[in-house]
Amino acid sequence: MTLAIISPSTFTDNSLPLFPFESVAGTLLHVEPARSASIVGVPASGAILPDLSGWLAEAGAELRYANMAGSVGLLERTAKGGIHAIKTLTNQFAHVGIILNAAVIQYILENISHAFFFSVHGRITRAGTSGNDAHFSTSFSTTPGTSQLLVASMADANTYPSTAALKGAKKYPLTSVVSPAAPTPLYAAAGVQGYTGAITKTAADAVANRLASMFNVGSSGPFNPGNAGAASKVFYRLLIEDMTVSGRDFAALSAMDYSFFEEEVLNVGGRYHGDTHTAPSTLP
């Protein structure tokens, strides 16, 4: 089977205003392909996804993928500008991740006592058969285990760290999104403060080894390079904020961010509502 990478040309309007809090002090990273004029079609693996907030110098992320072709994987732009990753449910070596760059990771390492907010907006287009796929996850340690995670939002509805360092978590749907009854919009957010893991990796190590990823298909992030039963997903937007600098707490920030998800993804007339893409059943 030969599958082409599809790049619809129907999403040309990136003039819509950004959500009002994108450029506040403390906004480490805002990535949103549909609002980024420099992201055309499907970027090559290793391509830089620019930061739209502009607060942290040199902030950005990297789209990294492998084996997303032929009968095992497909990477495409959706009709409304998202990045859609489909992978077969039988091959663990096809994977996609949006990796934080060294500037963002170095900032977190240098301010590890601060409170951080992480969120991803997207869509589940086919349920997975395995629960250990991560929506986002970050670690700075060579030692596997959930105790070493700064943060992780997992498809089985767990959010880490499972300690007082977790300042809040919010998801849509509210239950596990491993096997939703039907394709569903996806929202995942977490607030963390008080990392207790062992920092044994530099920012460069974290980038090279995919230890900080804000979108995963076919990989659970830091400690599992492949997940054969991973769900297929669309990525729309990610946000990371230093709440210590911005002065906001998780409850307020997640409420604002979730209202934007409702407006853009859930509500009729929203930028991403009614999005279309290749059917994941193309790759069994």
Q: Which range of residues forms the domain containing residue 139? A: 27-273
The predicted-structure confidence for 247-275, as pLDDT tens digits, reads as follows 999 999 999 999 999 999 999 999 999 99
d(CA 270, CA 109): 36
The domain total for the chain is 1
Structural tokens at position 132: 């250990």
Q: What is the structure's pLDDT at 280? A: 95
Q: Is residue 14 part of a domain?
A: no
User: Does residue 176 surpass a pLDDT of 60?
Assistant: yes
The model's pTM is 0.90
Q: What is the structure's pLDDT at 230? A: 86
**Residue whose C-alpha is closest to residue 158's, from 140, 172, 176, 143:** 176
Q: Is residue 76 part of a domain?
A: yes
CB-count burial class (<10 Å; 0-12, 13-18, 19+) for 181: exposed
Q: Is residue 56 part of a domain?
A: yes
Q: What is the structure's pLDDT at 24? A: 86
Q: What is the structure's pLDDT at 228? A: 81
Query: In which element (H, E) is residue 261 found?
Result: helix 250-261
The predicted-structure confidence for 192-246, as pLDDT tens digits, reads as follows 999 989 999 999 999 998 899 999 898 766 656 677 888 899 999 999 999 999 9
Q: Is residue 164 part of a domain?
A: yes
Q: Which residues contact 128 (CB under 8 A, 6 or more apart)?
A: 89, 155, 178, 179, 227, 229, 230, 231
Q: Is residue 4 part of a domain?
A: no
Q: Is residue 10 part of a domain?
A: no
What's the CATH number where 261 sits? 2.60.120
